[in-house]
Structure 1
């Protein structure tokens, strides 16, 4: 069996082509910029562009991340499904500052 390092080195990554990005074209609203990216990703056939990693911290400050599905974006708010009584819901209640990561 191949070593993990060799298997990983043989994988292609970030091969593009990626659309050009011009800072002078950035809309004022972050959600508008994101929506433009999302539509481009859908048009280019990116698999599951609505899948995201939601990163929070627990009560001790330890990072915690899980994959969720984006449900909507509006007025600089990103909506996803999560129960307020879940571990993730509790972490959001304690500290609403999060990071969302999309490929």
Structure 2
């Protein structure tokens, strides 16, 4: 085993990461392409990602900040875009839930490699209403609802076996019943204040356009250097 690990390490160390690159040639983004509201372009790009069958088009990287000022990032799924807000669901007692309770500032990134596109969003997160969380919870698959009830998300657990035992036990509790949403599980709605669209271009001369929300509610648009 030790010899195998040494061989693997040696192989990794021989890889020249500096030579791994590709040219981006699938499109461009012009100022004339941009609507006044970034949510309009976001919806268009998201639909194009879905139509192109990219892998996990609604997956988004979510960045938060701990009470100690340390950044953290993880992947969640976008579940709605409503009233100009990006909505996702989670356990409020999870690491990200605790971070957002302390500091509601949040960042979101969508990366669609197949289309050579990225979208980076910064904003403020707030819990959605219990009614909205209830409505979405009822739409989740049965087993996902059970999983939400028994998982102490982000906390250490004894073993996977214990997790499965808890799942089976909780399942028997709800046979023939409507599964209630636990109070510690629900949605966050992110109000964007900064949105950047990134389109890969040749020679690393990428197209980057930034929308910044002004105090009067109007979005200011600027082209950024690649």
**TM-score bracket for this pair, using the shorter chain length:** 0.7 to 0.9
Q: Which runs of 5+ in 1 are unaligned?
A: none
Q: In the alignment, does 2:37 pair up with 1:29?
A: yes
User: For 1:73 and 1:36, how far apart are their aligned partners in 2?
Assistant: 12
The verdict on how the C-alpha distance between 1:75 and 1:87 changes in structure 2, with shifts beyond 3 A counting, is same
State the TM-score, normalized to the length of structure 2: 0.40
Question: Relative to total residues, which structure has the larger helix share, 1 or 2?
Answer: 2
Deviation string, structure 1 residues 47-88 (Cα, Å, up to 9, x no partner):
111111100000011001111011011232111111222221
Q: Which secondary structure does the structure 1 equivalent of 2:29 belong to?
A: coil
Question: Relative to total residues, which structure has the larger strand share, 1 or 2?
Answer: 2
Once the two structures are superposed, the pairs formed by residues 1-103 of structure 1 within 5 Å of their partners are 1=8, 2-3=11-12, 6=15, 16-103=24-111
Q: Which secondary structure does the structure 1 equivalent of 2:91 belong to?
A: coil
| Count of aligned residue pairs for this structure pair | 102
State the TM-score, normalized to the length of structure 1: 0.80
- Structure ID, larger Rg: 2
**Cα RMSD between the aligned structures?**
2.2
User: For 2:56 and 2:107, how far apart are their aligned partners in 1?
Assistant: 18
The verdict on how the C-alpha distance between 1:40 and 1:7 changes in structure 2, with shifts beyond 3 A counting, is farther
